């Protein structure tokens, strides 16, 4: 057996291109449906688990899927904005705790999540390095975000401009990293958390600049009209909030009008949840969604698509398998002279058959093994793939 296997391996090694193509074909035949199944299972588990841990999400009317994906996974598709008043309304009902969410900006490809300290408690997120957010302008990073950005407590992160061509847009804000969260194997690991007010500063709704009432800032005064001082372009705006300049930071406008992408509502019981959902059933500018229901709908769509994809993969797989066997059959036919030589020399029928069979078995085994490796990798890194797809 060892000798016949050796001959089979020599043949496959000599015809390495043909062997590689056959192995790749077998790998794809096995991996496509299995890998897809694994990805779908994982995504279904992930989507369901996080959705089930998030009771209700309130946002502006629009796509419930977009609202849910942005709130749960911080996806880059920003839903229609609601206002901070929506969070206040929830709190006023007394039916749920309201956690404001503003997920619009990024630090490179990592989402900046503007929220309150209640979010960390709600998700059970713990600081493993440094400390929790304390003052305006600070940032706490998820474990993966800290690793990818290569920063930790004492370092800084800078918000990315939304468009380099938007010269009237918001300026990047330099934020000190004060803490890193424990790994939670969720979307939180990829996020840069800031206070919701810091997110508004990034938006440009709040800012800090030189105090124009001070004599040294006189050069920056364009005109004074009573209590109103109008500055010129030379007035320096701060792009970092420090203990020295924090007092100069202020917000223009009503806090209740400031934007949020969503409000996570955490009712204490089922009754409160039902009552709260009832309040939002009537026509209005806001919508309330149950993330579990949204994800179930999304999964139904994914499962339907998966069925089509698997059906396609199986069809292509069968065709490839048939072609593979045709290649083997033709190869055996072309090698009839070689078989004859082996028989003439005195090769036993068993040995010659074993050589030829071993070649097929080795190719099939290599293909299946490679497919299993790919499946293992998919299982191991499936969550990364899913997160990348959602992002």
Partner 1 sequence: MIRIEDLRFRYGEGDFQLRIPELAVESGTTTAFIGPSGSGKTTLLNLIAGIIRPEKGRVETRGVEVSGLSDEERRRFRITTVGLVFQEFELLEYLTVLDNILLPYRIHSALTLDSSVRERARSLAERVGISDKLDRHPRRLSQGERQRVAVCRAVLTDPPLLLTDEPTGNLDPVNRERVLDILFDYVEDSGTTLVSVTHDHEILTRFGRVMDFRDFHAFGEAGSGAAGGAS
| 339 part of the interface to partner 1, by CB under 8 A | no
Name which of 7 and 125 has its Cβ closer to partner 1.
7
| 348 part of the interface to partner 1, by CB under 8 A | yes
Number of residues that bind partner 1 (CB under 8 A): 23
| 7 part of the interface to partner 1, by CB under 8 A | yes
Name which of 221 and 351 has its Cβ closer to partner 1.
351
| 14 part of the interface to partner 1, by CB under 8 A | yes
The residues, any chain, with a CB within 8 Å of residue 373's CB and separated by 6 or more, are none
Both structure tokens of 373: 């490796």
Residue 185 CB-density burial (10 A; 0-12 exposed, 13-18 middle, 19+ buried):
exposed
Whether the Cβ atoms of residue 289 and residue 297 lie closer than 8 Å to each other = no
| 119 part of the interface to partner 1, by CB under 8 A | no
Q: How far is the CB of 72 from partner 1 (least distance, A)?
A: 57
Q: How far is the CB of 48 from partner 1 (least distance, A)?
A: 53
| 351 part of the interface to partner 1, by CB under 8 A | yes
| 23 part of the interface to partner 1, by CB under 8 A | no
In the set 22, 173, 192, 355, which binds partner 1 (CB under 8 A)?
Answer: 355
| 357 part of the interface to partner 1, by CB under 8 A | no
What single string gives the DSSP state of each residue in 20-50?
HHHHHHHHHHHHHHHHHHHHHHHHHHHHHHH
What single string gives the DSSP state of each residue in 315-354?
HHHHHHHHHHHHHHHHHHHHTHHHHHHHHHHT--HHHHHH
In the set 341, 357, 377, 381, which binds partner 1 (CB under 8 A)?
Answer: 341
- Torsion sign across C-alpha atoms 224, 227, 232, 235: positive
| 352 part of the interface to partner 1, by CB under 8 A | yes
| 167 part of the interface to partner 1, by CB under 8 A | no
Rounded distance, CA 192 to CA 316, Å? 43
| 344 part of the interface to partner 1, by CB under 8 A | yes
| 19 part of the interface to partner 1, by CB under 8 A | no
| 11 part of the interface to partner 1, by CB under 8 A | yes
Tell me which residues in 279-338 interact with partner 1 (CB under 8 A).
Answer: 337-338
The residues, any chain, with a CB within 8 Å of residue 51's CB and separated by 6 or more, are 68, 72, 291, 292, 294, 295
Rounded distance, CA 265 to CA 188, Å? 18
The neighbour count for residue 307, using CB atoms within 10 Å, is 11
Would you tell me which residues interact with partner 1 (CB under 8 A)? 3-4, 6-7, 10-11, 13-15, 337-338, 341-349, 351-352, 355
């Amino acid at each position: 057996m060892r000798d016949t296997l050796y001959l089979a391996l020599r043949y496959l090694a000599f015809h390495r291109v043909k062997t590689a193509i056959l192995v790749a074909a077998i790998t794809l035949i096995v991996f496509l449906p299995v890998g897809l199944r694994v990805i779908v299972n994982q995504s279904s588990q992930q989507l369901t688990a996080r959705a089930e841990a998030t009771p209700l999400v309130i946002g502006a009317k629009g796509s419930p899927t977009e609202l849910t994906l942005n709130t749960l996974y911080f996806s880059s598709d920003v839903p229609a904005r609601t206002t901070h008043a929506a969070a206040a309304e929830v709190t006023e009902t007394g039916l749920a705790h309201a956690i404001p969410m503003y997920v619009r900006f990024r630090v490179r490809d990592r989402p900046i999540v503007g929220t309150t300290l209640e979010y960390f408690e709600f998700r059970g997120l713990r600081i493993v390095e440094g400390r929790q957010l304390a003052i305006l302008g600070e940032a706490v990073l998820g474990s993966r975000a800290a690793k990818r950005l290569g920063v930790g407590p004492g370092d800084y992160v800078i918000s990315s401009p939304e468009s380099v061509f938007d010269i009237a847009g918001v300026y990047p804000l330099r934020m000190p990293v004060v803490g890193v969260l424990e790994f939670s194997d969720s979307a939180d690991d990829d996020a840069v958390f800031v206070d919701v007010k810091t997110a508004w500063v990034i938006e440009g709704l709040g800012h800090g600049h030189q105090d124009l009432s001070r004599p040294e800032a006189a050069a920056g005064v364009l005109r004074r009209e009573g209590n109103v001082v109008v500055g010129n372009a030379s007035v320096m705006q701060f792009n970092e909030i420090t203990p020295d300049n924090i007092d100069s930071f202020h917000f223009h406008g009503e806090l209740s009008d400031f934007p949020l992408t969503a409000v996570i509502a955490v009712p204490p019981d089922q009754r409160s949840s039902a009552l709260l959902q009832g309040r939002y059933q009537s026509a209005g500018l806001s919508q309330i969604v149950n993330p579990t229901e949204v994800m179930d709908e999304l999964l139904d769509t994914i499962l339907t698509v998966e069925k089509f994809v698997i059906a396609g993969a199986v069809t292509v797989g069968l065709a490839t398998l048939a072609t593979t066997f045709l290649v083997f059959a033709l190869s055996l036919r072309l090698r009839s002279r070689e078989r004859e030589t082996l028989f003439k020399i005195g090769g036993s029928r068993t040995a010659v058959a074993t050589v030829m069979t071993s070649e097929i078995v080795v190719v099939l085994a290599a293909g299946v093994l490679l497919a299993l490796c790919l499946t293992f990798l998919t299982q191991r890194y499936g969550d990364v793939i899913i997160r990348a797809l959602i992002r």
